[in-house]
Amino acid sequence: MKLVTAIIKPFRLDDVRNALSEVGVSGMTVTEVKGFGRQRGHTELYRGAEYVVDFLPKSKIEIAVAYDMVEQAIEAIINAARTGKVGDGKVFVTAIEQALRIRTGEFGDNAL
Amino acid sequence: MKLVTAIIKPFRLDDVRNALSEVGVSGMTVTEVKGFGRQRGHTELYRGAEYVVDFLPKSKIEIAVAYDMVEQAIEAIINAARTGKVGDGKVFVTAIEQALRIRTGEFGDNAL
Amino acid sequence: MKLVTAIIKPFRLDDVRNALSEVGVSGMTVTEVKGFGRQRGHTELYRGAEYVVDFLPKSKIEIAVAYDMVEQAIEAIINAARTGKVGDGKVFVTAIEQALRIRTGEFGDNAL
Amino acid sequence: MRPVFVLALLCLPQLAVADEAVSGDTAWMLTATALVLFMTLPGLALFYAGLVRAKNVLSVLMQCFAIAAVVSILWVIAGYSLSFTEGSGPFIGGFSRIMLSGMTIDSVRGSMPESVFVMFQMTFAIITPALIVGGFAERMRFSAMLVFISLWLMLVYVPVTYWVWGGGWLAQMGFRDFAGGAVVHINAGIGALIAAIVLGKRRGFPTTPMPPHNLPMTVTGAGMLWVGWFGFNAGSALAADNAAGMAMLVTHLGAAAGCVAWMSMEWLRFGKPSVLGIVTGMVAGLGTITPASGYVGPAGALVIGLSAGIVCFWATMLVKRTLKIDDSLDVMPVHGVGGILGLIMIAFLSSTLGGLGLDEGVTMGQQFVIQMIGISATIAWCGVMSYLLLKLIDLVIGLRVDEDQETEGLDIVLHEERGYNL
Amino acid sequence: MRPVFVLALLCLPQLAVADEAVSGDTAWMLTATALVLFMTLPGLALFYAGLVRAKNVLSVLMQCFAIAAVVSILWVIAGYSLSFTEGSGPFIGGFSRIMLSGMTIDSVRGSMPESVFVMFQMTFAIITPALIVGGFAERMRFSAMLVFISLWLMLVYVPVTYWVWGGGWLAQMGFRDFAGGAVVHINAGIGALIAAIVLGKRRGFPTTPMPPHNLPMTVTGAGMLWVGWFGFNAGSALAADNAAGMAMLVTHLGAAAGCVAWMSMEWLRFGKPSVLGIVTGMVAGLGTITPASGYVGPAGALVIGLSAGIVCFWATMLVKRTLKIDDSLDVMPVHGVGGILGLIMIAFLSSTLGGLGLDEGVTMGQQFVIQMIGISATIAWCGVMSYLLLKLIDLVIGLRVDEDQETEGLDIVLHEERGYNL
Amino acid sequence: MRPVFVLALLCLPQLAVADEAVSGDTAWMLTATALVLFMTLPGLALFYAGLVRAKNVLSVLMQCFAIAAVVSILWVIAGYSLSFTEGSGPFIGGFSRIMLSGMTIDSVRGSMPESVFVMFQMTFAIITPALIVGGFAERMRFSAMLVFISLWLMLVYVPVTYWVWGGGWLAQMGFRDFAGGAVVHINAGIGALIAAIVLGKRRGFPTTPMPPHNLPMTVTGAGMLWVGWFGFNAGSALAADNAAGMAMLVTHLGAAAGCVAWMSMEWLRFGKPSVLGIVTGMVAGLGTITPASGYVGPAGALVIGLSAGIVCFWATMLVKRTLKIDDSLDVMPVHGVGGILGLIMIAFLSSTLGGLGLDEGVTMGQQFVIQMIGISATIAWCGVMSYLLLKLIDLVIGLRVDEDQETEGLDIVLHEERGYNL
Ligand SMILES: Nc1ncnc2c1ncn2[C@@H]1O[C@H](COP(=O)(O)OP(=O)(O)O)[C@@H](O)[C@H]1O
Ligand SMILES: Nc1ncnc2c1ncn2[C@@H]1O[C@H](COP(=O)(O)OP(=O)(O)O)[C@@H](O)[C@H]1O
Ligand SMILES: Nc1ncnc2c1ncn2[C@@H]1O[C@H](COP(=O)(O)OP(=O)(O)O)[C@@H](O)[C@H]1O
């Protein structure tokens, strides 16, 4: 199993979720994060006190998938999340050594 | 060292924390996340505009533990988090290559 | 590539970001988390109902870096995040098998 | 100067039509009515909603709004008539104003249009059941709540109002309750206490912490309550006169002293004063001065406010920590106990410390006895009726949501909404 | 008792100086003015701001504040004069009070200082365009908004006010609009509807859900609106008299009945009542009783409130679900439809169910025809002018932010601020 | 018409008992009192609390509440007497109303019950120190704050009030300060500035950004301040008369013009107007019109409001960016500078642009000199006393929390509470 982690623009989240569902990924965990990168943040101004916000709101999607699904999942994410503008985000793949479903105790690919 | 990541129902958090403490896991990091899976979300209705919320609030617990503690930790989590209803969540295990305590610079299992 | 994950005190975040920029790490993802560990939480009191808050606000920084940057990145984090008081946090290193930039489809170290 | 006991006078229907409305008095009573409605919406609604968990914030706001709407309609249909028109006996008013029949645009009561008197009293009838919400917060079914409050209004609030302000037996006995120590605060406190007992504790109480989800919201509501209370107490003078001015002054001092007392208690006992503490002290001070606000002077008001802060502080500790009753937002220890305390202190502070005097020929001791009778009667009637009503409703439609629903939160379960999408 | 149709009388300038201000009436009108400003700031601002997404919360608050400021200045420069002084004809007022010239501290209008009358009416001129904000929320450029509202005030609000309340042709015809069914609610509803159509839908509407970001904020605003509306309607009696008292009572009952009706509709149709539903029913009830609040009795008010809850509920479904017009905060179905409904019901409830009577010699049918003429004229004038203004502004400076800006949110893009840093 | 300078008249004690209260005036003053309390609780409390960081939100709310409570008690004990009864000289009032002794329910002051006058003035005594909170926000110890405010009230606020409104030397000289330019706004501004300097900057100021944590909360407070200010200024006419009406009108125009001016300055200078800017302009406009609100006409009010927006905008830039003084919520540049500006403009706008006239035989130049004397005296006295008090308290108990506590936030450290659990 692999853990596919994608950091995307928040307003693409629904599209990405739908794209993943279509390729058969039926579970995911999403975190609201703040991203720092090439994409420029904005300036805020409060009574003349300037404040440069470098961190931008992003959504982090984590999906545990079986080996053979990794490619499709990545494909689906990239297609749905891409706007072509800087700040579209990243996908990282890491290894999961074991997975368990708490309710049933099933493990491995069955737990997903 | 391993990183044990558990996605659980938020109202089980206190029980899980206590269970982990009992088996000797004394540190953890918790993130509020939104989960999507088999468990059905709810419907919201605002002046007749329906809005299906698929994402459910979940708590993600991350604990770095020494190899020999992994089994007990998983056990503790599963027992404390299980309600037997769909949506109880998952446990994932991944490898940590190195760990450091910022305050002291200690590393490896000593950092935990 | 490696994923360096640091859990730090929130008010050190800006210093850590600057320190990382200086060693050439130009992207990162930050999550607001709640940490449990050696550092004592505080007590809250509402009309005589006591409530011990064990979870403390922490910031989790995740940076994907090329192998040869790992040491410097850790160094930078540790120096900028350390206050010398309990609760300064941890750094964990894990392996990333693959990385992709959504906008361009670049992968590997080029994606960072 | 107009007499202080105007309410009693107003009960004589023959007087009601004779007068003409005075524009200054009418101006103040229109304003006071707006202020008292403001106490409930959004004042009390915010005060309470900030204290519950985020998943139940809307349920509390909804309860307050629905109570305001339903009570208003019941009040014009029958509540007002049964409370404030001459009845056939000392226990309940008459039917002459059912659906406000016979009241025209020209009708006058005291020195204000009768329509204004109807409205002013309606706002009291709204806030009293709304206060009870604090007793059963975070677990009651919305439909059961509506049924309970409607019946409670007619069977508890209306008769007690008639007894005290409508010319009933307590009024005739000389019972002093200027702006609602018994009618409003004891009734609300006892209603909430009984509801808390009959419904039972919230899941997890008292072991799981249930901290307020939004204290700034609670403080906002508290500020509104303080300001609105001027309408409540100074409006109860039913005119823009010296009695109203004095009532406002003593009300304010009661609140201020309540703040200081509760804050000091926390400082002494826990080492730190809290903002929830200071606003609770304020409410305690206001609830306690309410019945006395037409009788005592400024010094008396300070005594009342300080006592309120101390006594209600300990009462809260007792109910929550010792008795472990989940009167979730502390309605009984703050309002109920405050109302009782204020009613008792009337006997001793009406003729001392600058008080405006007891009735001709009445001694402190006699007044004390009368006050105790009024307090006991209100507690007994409200306690028994609330208990019977709740038990009955539980049998017929059920009072509580189930465990899973309570865990998920009433907002989604009962109203399909979420408070915040930040 | 003073006559109910005081506004019409006040238009005769010769009366204006003769009288002396009455302190009681002045007291109430000062208060009513404060209450109506309170409806907009912070009432309506919060009501609306809670309904949008978090990234646009400040833009809505900003629009309400800027409208209040700009309209106030325009009002004293020319708006008041053109609305409320005798003009050369039935369509627009005169120039005698441009920059309030000729008004001194001693000027009196009716039984209040003229300065108070200017202020009271100003608060109506503020809230009407502020209501329109709901139609174009979350997508309009701030500068375009300022230009639109300024022109709209002078070209729509001011003439219609003159027609109805300033002695213009509708007033002369006997059109009944006590506190602003046409002047305020139809104008706002139509203005918002046209704006929604001309600007077009928000990106993603109606497929993407856009739930309110902070319902407690909306409920807070709703409570303030309810209370402030007492100033709006009972203040429209222009005195602290029996007419004001009755107006307050029927206003309150309209709100309460609107709450109950909308709540019931949701319960029947969706299985659960919602807090957004109950407050929307409240606004519908209040908007609908507004024009009628000086004419109907309590029973009539209940009928109006219940009808409002039902009719506006269905109108909302129609506009949003069937026509798919993105009148984002439902201004037309709630205010516009409510205003129309109330104006029509005046014909039938002025002389039945305890109403205060039609004018001597006018039948229900005749009044109905007059009401329909007033309604139609307001809809037509407001519709056409709003459309032309918006099209013109779109050509010259552009109405909408671009797609990326809409995605990022107006707070950052237009104001370089964020609502929350929690 | 009643004279404008009623406050001065009221100082003659022999008049106080002779009159009877007028119900209309009493009605308005009861209302105005409620409005001014509303400005502090919850108005100012929310305005300020929204501007600090989330970890300190409760500390600000707590300070405002505690100030309201403590000042109220000090006011009735001695503040009122020393401010508003005849003293032995021109610098401080007398002891005849210590603990309100001698004031009965029948006491009258002007045309209102004396109890109402006591209350109305108390609300001014509450808001002035509450404004100072903005100078030392996010770093002061709560106990030190209580001590400082209590002493400051008696040693700064009370004497200056006596000088200006109580018949003291500035009143005798003909100093014009209708509703508190010197008494309230300069006092608050200087107090805050000195506190900011003595306590020192917040950790990280000005390099670390400290954006407001909840701007909708601030805007809510701003709306309440606008509405409440009607009570402040129009209430300062002490009657429901033409002077009150005109005061309300010019107050409102000052606010509106302040909004427009500040918004325009931001637009010109930074390219975008902000909601924090518009509400700050509103406060600047209101603070500046306050001393002038009984003397100028509508056109003068517009001039004052526009000047306020521009001058206070630059003053804020100066204090924050150039001088780098951490007057955290900009009390001095907005209130202090506004108060000074308004007091000066009185000299020039009382007899021009529709102003109500200078005193018989006083020229603009003479009035200007008098105004400068009053301004200078207030700045000097308040500055020196505030400095001495703060230094003394720092020595004895310490003014600031330590660094770690400041980092953790005052809510947890001082009050063991957290604002939000969302
Ligand atoms: N080295 C990195 N490690 C972790 N997260 C990163 C890294 N670089 C970028 N990110 C995340 O990806 C987001 C997008 O990156 P950015 O450089 O702005 O644009 P792009 O992905 O188009 O190159 C950032 O906001 C951040 O959350
Ligand atoms: N493939 C997955 N990858 C990551 N997280 C998942 C995955 N599947 C489920 N989850 C997380 O686990 C939670 C529970 O999963 P769900 O399918 O609803 O119930 P169950 O765990 O009982 O099978 C989800 O809400 C989601 O947060
Ligand atoms: N075993 C662990 N696994 C994951 N996170 C941990 C673990 N131990 C500590 N942490 C995180 O590190 C933070 C700091 O740890 P703590 O024990 O309080 O202090 P220190 O890092 O100085 O030893 C905790 O709040 C928690 O977020």
Mean pLDDT within D298-322: 97
Beta bridge partners of C53: C42
Residue F6 inside a domain? The answer is no
CA of residue A28 to ligand 2 center, whole Å: 6
| pLDDT score at D11 | 42
Report yes or no on D130 lying in a domain.
yes
Using CB atoms, pick whichever of D208, D407, D416 lies closest to residue B43.
Answer: D416
- Cα–Cα dist E297/D174, whole Å: 36
Q: C-alpha E163: how far from its chain's center?
A: 16
* Nearest residue on chain B to C89, alpha-carbon basis: B102
| Mean pLDDT of all residues belonging to chain E | 95
Q: Which F positions 92-151 lie with beta carbon below 8 A of chain D?
A: 99-100, 105-108, 112-116, 118-119, 122, 142
The answer to whether the CB of D75 falls within 8 A of the CB of D122 is yes
Write out the residue range of the structural domain in which residue F118 sits. 39-415
- Half-sphere exposure of F80 toward its Cβ, with a 13 Å CA cutoff? 26
CB-based contact, F212 to chain A, within 8 Å: yes
Residue C60 host element (H or E): strand C56-65
Spatial neighbors of F342 by CB under 8 A, at least 6 apart, are: F181, F185, F287, F288, F289, F290, F291, F292, F304, F308
Taking the alpha carbons at both ends of chain D, their separation in whole angstroms is 55
User: Tokens standing for D245?
Assistant: 């001015």
E210 has pLDDT over 80: yes
Asked whether residue E371 is domain-assigned, the answer is: yes
Tens digits of residue pLDDT in D248-275: 999 999 999 999 999 999 999 999 999 9
pLDDT tens across E75-92, in order? 999 999 999 999 889 999
Q: Which residue of C has its CA nearest to A86?
A: C103
Closest residue of chain E to A50, computed from CA coordinates: E416
Ligand 2 mean position, distance from CA F56 (Å): 37
Nearest-10 Cα torsion for E307, E313, E316, E317: -130
Provide the mean pLDDT of chain B: 95
Write out chain F's pLDDT in tens, 422 residues: 333 344 444 444 444 444 799 999 999 999 999 999 999 999 999 999 999 999 999 999 999 999 999 999 999 999 999 999 998 899 999 999 999 999 999 999 999 999 999 999 999 999 999 999 999 999 999 999 999 999 999 999 999 999 999 999 999 999 999 999 999 999 999 999 999 999 999 999 998 889 999 999 999 999 999 999 999 999 999 999 999 999 999 999 999 999 999 999 999 999 999 999 999 999 999 999 999 999 999 999 999 999 999 999 999 999 999 999 999 999 999 999 999 999 999 999 999 999 999 999 999 999 999 999 999 999 999 999 999 999 999 999 999 999 999 999 999 999 999 999 99
pLDDT of D187: 98
> Ligand 3 centroid to C35 CA: how many Å?
6
Token code pair at residue F301:
């009010």
> Cβ of C55 under 8 Å from any chain F Cβ?
no
pLDDT of residue A26: 85
State the Cα torsion D215-D216-D217-D223 to the nearest 10°.
110
Q: What is the pTM of this model?
A: 0.97
- Among residues D279, D324, D390, C93, the alpha carbon closest in space to that of F415 is found at D279
Q: How far apart are CA D138 and CA D208, in angstroms?
A: 14
Confidence (pLDDT) at F8: 43
Encoded tokens for D287: 């609830």
**Interface size between D and E, measured as CB pairs under 8 A:** 193
Q: How far is C56 from chain B (nearest CA, A)?
A: 9
Residues of D (183-212) whose Cβ lies below 8 Å from E: none
Interchain CB contact of A42 with F (< 8 Å): no
What amino acid is encoded at D192 in this protein? A
Output the CA F338–ligand 1 centroid distance in Å.
Answer: 47
Give the whole-angstrom CA distance, residue D105 versus residue E1. Answer: 9
Q: Which two tokens stand for residue D90?
A: 């000392």
Residue pLDDT tens, chain C, 112 long: 999 999 999 999 999 999 999 999 989 999 999 999 999 988 898 998 888 898 999 999 999 999 999 999 999 999 999 999 999 999 999 999 999 999 999 999 999 8
Residues D308 and D262: their CA atoms lie apart, in Å, by 8
Which has the closest alpha carbon to B47: E327, F247, F255? E327
Contact check, Cβ <8 Å, D260/F38 = no
Q: Is F218:F45 a contact under the CB 8 Å cutoff?
A: no
What pLDDT, in 10s, does the model give residues E257-280?
999 999 999 999 999 999 999 999
- What pLDDT does F149 receive? 98
Task: Please report the pLDDT score of residue B49 as a whole number.
Answer: 87
Cβ within 8 Å of F, E 62-101: 62, 65-66, 68-70, 72-73, 76, 99-100
Neighbours of F380 (CB within 10 A): 11
Structure confidence at residue A51 (pLDDT): 87
Q: Whole-angstrom Cα distance, residue D398 to residue D391? A: 9
- Does residue D14 belong to any structural domain of this protein? no
Check residue A97 and give its pLDDT: 96
Number of domains in chain E: 1
Query: Nearest CA to CA, how far is A112 from chain B (Å)?
Result: 8
C-alpha B68/C-alpha C1 separation (Å) is 27
Q: State the CATH number of the domain containing residue D283.
A: 1.10.3430.10
Distance CA E411, CA E415 (A): 5
Verify whether ligand 2 is closer than 6 Å to residue B7 (CB atom): yes
- In one-letter notation, the amino acid at residue F332 is M
CB E62 within 8 A of CB E142: yes
Q: Is E402 on the interface with A (CB under 8 A)?
A: no
Tell me, what's the ipTM? Answer: 0.96
Ligand 2 contact, A112 CB (< 6 A): yes
Residue bearing tokens 């982690």: A5
Question: Does some domain include residue F116?
Answer: yes
Q: Are E107 and E157 in contact (CB under 8 A)?
A: no
Q: Looking at the complex, report in whole angstroms how far the Cα of residue B100 sits from the nearest Cα belonging to chain A.
A: 20
In a domain, F55, yes or no: yes
Ligand 2 touching residue B49 (CB < 6 A): no
Determine if the peptide bond prior to F42 is cis (ω within 30°).
yes
Pick B94's closest partner by Cβ from A30, A94, A112: A94
Residues of C in contact with F417 (CB under 8 A): 44-46
Question: Do B30 and C38 lie within an 8 Å CB cutoff?
Answer: no
* Interchain contact B52–D (C-beta under 8 A): no
Cβ-Cβ contacts under 8 Å, D28 against chain F: 23, 26-27, 30-31
Q: Look at residue D13 and tell me if it is in a domain.
A: no
Task: Return the axis-axis angle of helices D57-74 and E275-292, rounded to nearest 10°.
Answer: 40
Cα–ligand 3 centroid distance for F146 (angstroms): 39
- How close is the Cα of D212 to the center of ligand 3, in Å? 27
Q: Are strands E112-113 and A49-53 parallel, antiparallel or unpaired?
A: unpaired
CB contact under 8 A, C29 and A35: yes
Q: Which residues of F are less than 8 Å from C14 in CB distance? A: 208
Neighbours of chain B (3+ CB pairs under 8 A): A, C, D, E
Q: Which chains share 3+ C-beta pairs under 8 angstroms with F?
A: A, C, D, E
Check if A106 has its Cβ closer than 6 Å to any atom of ligand 2. no
Interface test with B, best of C5, C78, C86, C90 (most B CBs within 10 A): C90
Q: In a 10 Å sphere around its CB, with 0-12 CB exposed, 13-18 middle and 19+ buried, how is residue E18 labelled? A: exposed
State residue D88's pLDDT score. Answer: 85
Judge if the beta carbon of residue B47 lies within 6 A of ligand 3: no
Distance from C63 to chain F by nearest Cα, in Å?
24
Of E248, E356, E422, the CB nearest to D119: E248
Confirm or reject contact between C42 and chain D (CB < 8 A). no
The tokens for F129 are 């120190």
Q: Is A37 in the pocket of ligand 1 (CB under 6 A)?
A: yes
Token reading at F232:
């402040």
Ligand 3, pocket-test mutation among B13, B23, B29, B93, most atoms within 8 A of CB: B29
The residue of chain F with its CA nearest to that of A47 is F277
Provide the pLDDT for residue B76.
Answer: 97
Question: Which residue is closest in CA terms to ligand 1's atom 5?
Answer: C28
What is the Cα–Cα distance from F347 to F370, expressed in whole angstroms? 9
pLDDT-above-70 percentage for chain E? 96
Three-state DSSP class for residue E5: coil
CA distance A14 to chain E (A): 9
Q: What is the mean pLDDT of residues A14-42?
A: 95
Phi, psi of D49 (to 5 degrees): -65, -35
Residue F360: partners with Cβ closer than 8 Å, 6 or more residues away: none
User: In A, which residues are within 8 Å of E208 by CB distance?
Assistant: 14
F262 within a domain of the structure (yes/no): yes
Residue F206, preceding bond cis, omega within 30 degrees? yes
Q: Which amino acid is at F255?
A: A
Q: What is the mean pLDDT of residues A85-104?
A: 96
Round to whole Å and give the CA distance between D255 and D257: 5
Ligand nearest to the CA of C32: 3
Cβ–Cβ contact B42 with E under 8 A: no
Query: Is the predicted pLDDT of residue A52 greater than 60, yes or no?
Result: yes
Residue A100 pairs in a beta bridge with A107, B91
Residue D227: the pLDDT is 98
pLDDT bucket at E16, cuts 50 / 70 / 90: very low
Residue D4, pLDDT above cutoff 50: no
With CB atoms and an 8 Å threshold, state whether A88 touches C98: no
pLDDT (mean) for A62-73: 96
Distance between CA atoms of residues E148 and E130, nearest Å: 12
E223 contact D CB<8A: yes
- Look at residues B21, B28, B56 and name the one whose alpha carbon lies nearest to residue B40: B56
The contacts of residue B63 (CB under 8 Å, 6+ apart) are: B3, B4, B20, B25, B27, B28, B29, B73
Nearest by Cα to E80 from E40, E128, E123, E38:
E123
**Which chain E positions have a beta carbon within 8 Å of A45's beta carbon?**
416-417
